[in-house]
Amino acid sequence: MNTGREQQQVQRGQDTNEVARRATGFGRLLVAVYGVFALSATARAGYQIATKFDEAPVAYLLSAFAALVYILATITLAKSGIRSYWLSVAAVGIELLGVVAVGLLSLLDPELLPQDTVWSGFGQGYGYVPLLLPVIGLWWLWLHRPGAGQKPAEDRP
């Protein structure tokens, strides 16, 4: 018979295994796509800030913020562990809020963002992938949340 402490350790191990499976199969593709967006958004923001920051500082700073969000999402989606899981949820959630907010701003007040960002027009310049990616990412994280697929405690040996 397991003690309460042993049951907690078993449960933690199962949670960790479930979270570790996030980065396999389709999860690897998701991490790869986030990695590509992290690299492209970082390069774009770096170039814009270095060469023409005075033309549209808000837009270019938003591009840099998007790059940071993509970097954080890439790293945390690739790692296992509860902390990485919740950081992934936060990063992908912020990404979704950013895409929607910047997308609306770029349509409602185009003069505020005279130059496009990754998230302008809901990611129109990138085939709307920036809008779809966080939705798919949050769905994937929901499927691979800690404790998902575990038997209830009374069913465990």
Structure tokens at 95: 């990404």
pLDDT level of residue 111 (50, 70, 90 thresholds)? confident
- What pLDDT score does 10 carry? 42
pLDDT at 157: 55
Please tell me whether the overall predicted TM-score, pTM, comes out greater than 0.85 for this model.
Answer: no
The pLDDT of residue 20 is 54
Question: Over the stretch 6-21, which tens digit does the pLDDT of each residue have?
Answer: 444 444 544 455 545 6
For residue 68, give the nearest of 94, 104, 107, 103 by alpha carbon.
94
- Percentage, residues of the chain above pLDDT 70: 80
114 CB neighbour count, 10 Å cutoff = 11
DSSP assignment string, 76-124: HHHS-SHHHHHHHHHHHHHHHHHHHHHHHHHHH-TTTSSS--TTGGGTG
